Amino acid sequence: MTDNSTDTQTAPVDALTEKRITFYRFIPQARMPQRADRAAAGTLPTRAFRYCEPVVSASAFGYYVFPPISFQLMWDGHEVVWMYEGINDWIPLKTAQFPDYVPYFDAHAPEEIRGFSPPFVGALQEPGLVQLWTGLIARTAPGWSSLIRPCANLPRSGAYELYEGIIETDRWFGPLITNMRLTKTNTPIEFRSDFPVLQVQVIPREALDERAQNDYELVADLDGMRPEDWDDFYDTVVRPNVAVKRPRGEYAAAARRRAKGEEG
């Protein structure tokens, strides 16, 4: 991963309302979020990166968020234990603060907020479920929400699964957390502070409107195809295959031209 966590990524206070999303770092050791990578942190095959625009667009949509410290979890089917960078013994996990964080939080927080530092990691009541705080809080522009999800197209451990969640971060100013389900027992599960644990994607809340989502149409069979639908199918599927000289990555090239505001 390339470290882009420079001071230039921190928005000035008077510019916050102009930003689609602003990340607040509460744990100073945490790596700052960074823009997601079109190459999925260099893991995409070269051919996919060059010619498969849907894959690279999905990979780059949003921001990588990292654990604030390297740590490990292990689940025996009943209890969860954890071990973090700097100690060599497993500790039973109930609810744990970030190491040595409480004095820092209380020293910087207003008096009425002292004693309310968010927990870093905790085992939930359901077997094998863990909640993790990234050390961040996010605020979005009015009308925008944050989709918290696994990193798109980035290979990840098969020992856990992240739950996806949508937070109205223009209204709710609280810890940016994720919930995960551990899927392997008696196996140390590693989380590295230099490798993203989740991806935040900012979406307009109007996209979540129930009435709009329920207002959709189904075409049950080919008899329902209109002439213009067949014309579009021909242009997309047939024309490139019958062309004498077929350019590779035609869709990707057209999509990139549109992204730059060019015709095509």
The CATH number for 197's domain is 2.70.40.10
Which one of 189, 209, 229 terminates a domain? 209
For residue 264, being part of any structural domain is answered with no
Q: 255 and 187: one domain?
A: no
d(CA 255, CA 251): 6
- pLDDT for res 13: 43
Which one of 169, 193, 209 terminates a domain? 209
Q: Would you state the structure tokens that stand for residue 154, as one six-digit string? A: 């980035």
Q: 26 and 151: one domain?
A: yes
Asked if 95 and 117 touch (Cβ cutoff 8 Å), the reply is: no
- pLDDT for res 50: 85
Q: 25 and 104: one domain?
A: yes
Q: 159 and 196: one domain?
A: yes
Asked if 203 and 149 touch (Cβ cutoff 8 Å), the reply is: no
For residue 109, being part of any structural domain is answered with yes
What is the dihedral angle through the alpha carbons of 58, 59, 63, 69, rounded to the nearest 10 degrees?
140
Which one of 209, 234, 250 terminates a domain? 209
Q: Would you state the structure tokens that stand for residue 45, as one six-digit string? A: 């095959």
Which residue range forms the structural domain that includes residue 75? 11-209
**For residue 249, what are the contacts with CB-CB under 8 A and spacing of at least 6?**
50, 51, 53
For residue 194, being part of any structural domain is answered with yes
For residue 4, being part of any structural domain is answered with no
For residue 5, being part of any structural domain is answered with no
For residue 28, being part of any structural domain is answered with yes
Q: 165 and 232: one domain?
A: no
For residue 2, being part of any structural domain is answered with no
Q: First-to-last CA distance in the chain?
A: 34
Q: 246 and 116: one domain?
A: no
Q: 136 and 226: one domain?
A: no
Q: 202 and 241: one domain?
A: no
- pLDDT for res 40: 87
Q: 197 and 250: one domain?
A: no
Count structural domains, the chain: 2
Q: 51 and 126: one domain?
A: yes
For residue 131, being part of any structural domain is answered with yes
What is the pLDDT tens value at each position of the chain, 264 positions in all? 544 444 444 444 444 456 999 999 999 999 999 999 998 888 888 888 888 889 999 999 999 999 999 999 999 999 999 999 999 999 999 999 999 999 999 999 999 999 999 999 999 999 999 999 999 999 999 999 999 999 999 998 999 999 999 999 999 999 999 999 999 999 999 999 999 999 999 999 999 999 999 999 999 999 999 999 999 999 988 988 887 666 666 665 666 666 677 544
Q: 202 and 235: one domain?
A: no
- pLDDT for res 14: 47
Q: 98 and 49: one domain?
A: yes
